[in-house]
Structure 1
Amino acid sequence: GGWDGWIRFTKITAPAYSVAFNDASKTFEGFAWGSDVLGWISFNSINCDTDGDGDSDGGSGCPPSGTVMDPYMVSANFVINRAPSASNLGISNSSTAYCDKFLTFQWTFTDPDSSDTQSAYKIEASYDGVTYIILRSADSSVTSVSIPLSEISATLSGDWYFQSLYWKVTVTDNGAGTGTNKKSATTTASTFGPMPGREYPVVNFTTNPLQILANQDVQFLDSSICYISGDTPAASCSSWLWTIPGATYVSPSTFTFQNPTVNFSSSGSVNVSLQATDGGAPAYSCTLTKSINIGLPLPQIKEKK
C-alpha cells in the first residue's frame, strides 16, 4: 500500500460538512471528505435522497439529480450512551429552612436512555455568578440535598446575609442501558435570593422545676436568641407565643408572656411549642416544639387526730 490520503469527518468552514450519529435510527448521516483518492464519502442515502423517492436530489458528493439510487446506510451494531439532563432546579426558601439553618437544593433527573439512573451529582455555587465553587458532590442518586448555611458561608468564603446565590448541578448517569462509559451534563445557572440580612431566631426553653407534676405550678423559661443583623444577637426577642395543651395559665401569665407560669390538672405527655419573633422589619419567627412529661400529683396527706 501507499499513501491514500486523509479522511476528514468534520469541517466548520465553507464548504462545511460533518458526520453525525442519529440516536433514534442508530445510523450515521452526513458526509466525510477523502483528500487524495476517495473524495466525498456519504454515510447514508438520505444525504442525496432527502425525500426518499429513490432518485438523487443532486448536489456535492451526490449522483446527478434524478439518478436512480438504491438505499444504503452505515449503522452501528452497538449502543451509544446519551447524556442525561437536570431540570426544575429549586431551593427551599420557606422560613423553616432558615430556622433549621440549611437550604435544600432540588432538581429533576432525566435520561433519554430509560434504563439509566443518576449515579452522581455535583452542586456548584457562587455569590457573583462568575466564580463557581463546589458545594457538595457525591456518588448518589439523590436529587434533594440539604446543606447548612454555615457550610455555604465557609465554602464561598463570605457570609450569606443579603446575598443572591447562583448555583448549578452536574448530573452523571450510570450507563446501565449501554454498558459504556457514563455521561454527564451540567445545567445552566439558577438564581436564588437575595437571602435574609440576619439569622432567624434560635428558639429554646426550659422549665422550673425540671420535673413537672400535675396540680403543681411550673414556669416555662424562654432562652431563645434573636438577632439584630447578621449573626449579632439582640438583647431579647420581641414577642413570644406559647402553645401549652392541658395547662391553665397562672395569673397574671398569658400565652404571650416570655416566661409564663402554668398548672397542669392531669398527668401525661404533651407537646409544648414556643414561637419567638425578633424585632426586625420584616420580623422573623421560628418555632420549637418539645414533648413534656407531667408526673402524677403528690399524694394528699391527711392528719389523723
Structure 2
Amino acid sequence: MRAFVVTGPGEAEVQQVAEPVAGPGEVVVAVERAGVCGTDAEFYSGHMVYLHTGQAAYPVRIGHEWCGTVTAAGPGVDRAWLGRRVTGDTMLGCGKCRRCRGGRQHLCADRYEIGIRHGWPGALAERLPVPVKALVPLPEAMDPALGALVEPGANALRAVRAAALSPGDRILVAGPGTIGLLTALIAAARGAEVHVLGETTGFAHEIGIERAWTASDLPDLRWDAVVDASTGSGIPARAVQLVEPGGRVVFIGLAARASLLDTRELVLKDVTAVGVLSGSGALAGTVDLYASGAVDPRPLVAATVGLDDAAAVLSGNRPPEWGAAPKVHIDPAAPSAQAECSI
C-alpha cells in the first residue's frame, strides 16, 4: 500500500510499504481522511522532542487524526466491527499497569502513540492497524471531515471540561489554532462567554467568534477561566496573571522552549492549574457534539489534498486561495495536486 514516510528532517516521500495485518485484538482500517497537525510538522522539521529522547526515530509514518472503515479483524475481535466507520484514540496503553487499569492509558509509561511514539504507524496511509479497544464508532452519515476532526476536538473538549465552566462564565482562549478555536466553539456551545486572544483575529471573526483580540486591545475583564492553547513560552505566566482569583487555568499548548511562571501567583490567587494531554476519554463525547450539530468545526479545514501533497503542506506551502483556516486534511485516495476546498 501507499504511505507517507518522513525519512529525516525536511525529507519525506510516499512509499510502497507492507500491508498491515490485524493481530490479536486489532483491526485494520481503510483511512478515509486524516488531519495534519503541529506534531506532524515537528516530525518533518526535526524539532519533535520524542526524536531527541529516544521515544521516536526516523523513518516515521505520521498521522493521528483520522477516520475510516474497518476492513479486517484479528483474532479475538468481534466481527461486527467489520464495515463500521470509526475513529480512534491516539494513545495505546499497555493495559496492564496501574495507570491503564485506572483508566489513564494515555499516561502509560510504555504506551504507543499512533503515528508518534515507539514506531506505531500513522494514518497518512491507505490503511492503518488499530487495537480494537481504541476504536470509537462514527455515525454512518458523518462527514469524513468531521470524523477526522474528532481527535483534536476531543483535546479541546477535555480543555473545556477542565475549565469547569458554568453557563455565563467568561473564558479567554489564548492561541487561535485548531485546538484553541475548537475549545472556543465547544465552550460557546456550553453557554460560556468566549473570548479568543491571538496575534491575528480575522479568521476567528470569520467563524463567528465575535470577541477576538490581540495583546494590544485585550479588554480588562474578569476571566473565570483561561485556556492556553498557544505555543508562546510567555503565555502560561500571562494566563495566571489574567485569571480571576479562584479561577482555573488550563494548559494544552506546548511551547518550543520552557515556559516559566511564578507559583506564588497560583497560591496567592488560589488558582487551579490543569494540564491536558490528548483527547483520551473525550472522543465519544466529541462525536456526540458533532453529530448533534451543536458544534460544526468543518470551517477550520482549509483544504483536502492527496498523500503526494503532504510534504508541501508540512513545509508550510499553502496556496493563497486556501485562506486562513488552520487545518489541512489528507485523503489517501486523492490524486496528486488535486486540492479541493472542503467547505
Whether the TM-score (by the shorter chain) exceeds 0.5 is no
Q: Which has the higher helix share?
A: 2
TM-score (norm 2): 0.16
Which of the pair has the greater relative contact order for Cα pairs under 8 Å at 6+ separation? 2
TM (norm. structure 1) is 0.18
**Structure having the larger proportion of residues in strand:** 1
Q: Which has the larger radius of gyration?
A: 1
